[in-house]
Structure 1
Amino acid sequence: MIVIAGTLTLESPVNETVLDACRTMMKATHAEKGCVDYVFSADPLDDHTLRVFEQWESLEDLEAHFQAPHMPPFREAMAQWNVTGKSIHRFTVTDTVEM
C-alpha cells in the first residue's frame, strides 16, 4: 500500500472555491482503480493549510492517477491558490494493524 500525507500552505485562507475544486477532484479520484482513500481537508487550526491524505493499492495505481483526465483541470485550479509551502510525503506501507 502507498500512503501520501502532508500539507499545502496557501497565501490566502482556504475558501469555498478551493474546497469545491478539492471535492470535484476527490469524487473523480475515488473512482480510479486502486484508490483506497483520497482526501483534501481544511486544517481546523490553521485556515491557510490544506491537508492531503491518500491511500493507493500500488505505486502503479498512484502513477496512473497522475495521468488521469481530471488531473490537468485540478492543477489549473491549484495554480490560482498561491501555494506558499508544500510538505507532502509518500510512504510505502508493508504492514498495518487495526486500531
Structure 2
Amino acid sequence: MLIIAGSLQVEPATREDYLSGCEEVITQARAAAGCLDFLLAADPLEPGRIHVYERWESAEQLAAFRGSGPSDAQEAAILDADVQRYLIAGVEAP
C-alpha cells in the first residue's frame, strides 16, 4: 500500500476556487482502480494551506491514474508543495 501525504500552498484568497476546481479529479481518483482514499482539504488554521492525502493499493495503480493530475492552471496556482510518498509494509488494527 502507498500513502501520498503532505500539503500545498496557494494564495489564501484563491484557495476555495482551487479546491472547487479539484472536485473532478477527486471524483476520478476515487473511482480509479486501486484508490482507497483521495482527499484535498483546506487547513482550518492556515488560509493558503491545502492538505493532500491519498491511499493506493499499489504503485502501478497510482501510476496509471497519475496522467490525470492537476491542470496547467492548477499547477500554476501552487506556490509551494511538500508532498511525500510512503510505502506501507503493513496495517494494524487500532
Normalised to the residue count of structure 2, the TM-score between the two structures is 0.88
Amino acid at match of 2:71: R
Tell me, yes or no, if structure 1 residue 75 matches structure 2 residue 75.
Answer: no
Q: Which runs of 5+ in 2 are unaligned?
A: none
Report the 3-state secondary structure (helix = DSSP H, G, I; strand = E; otherwise coil) of the residue aligned with 1:98.
Answer: coil
Report the 3-state secondary structure (helix = DSSP H, G, I; strand = E; otherwise coil) of the residue aligned with 1:89.
Answer: strand
Q: Which runs of 4+ in 1 moved over 6 A?
A: none
Alpha-carbon distance between aligned partners in 1 of 2:72 and 2:3, rounded to the nearest angstrom: 24
Contact 1:13 1:49 in 2 (8 A): no
What do the CA deviations read for 1:51-88 (whole angstroms, capped 9, x no partner)? Answer: 000000000011111124xx3xx32231342x221100
Which residue is equivalent to 1:22? 22
Which residue is equivalent to 1:90? 85
Tell me the number of residue pairs that the alignment of Structure 1 and Structure 2 aligns: 94
Identity of aligned residues (%): 29
What do the CA deviations read for 1:22-77 (whole angstroms, capped 9, x no partner)? Answer: 22111111111100001000000101001000000000011111124xx3xx3223
Normalised to the residue count of structure 1, the TM-score between the two structures is 0.84
> Aligned Cα RMSD in Å?
1.5
After TM superposition, give the deviation of residue 16 of structure 1 in Å: 3.0
Report the 3-state secondary structure (helix = DSSP H, G, I; strand = E; otherwise coil) of the residue aligned with 1:78.
Answer: helix
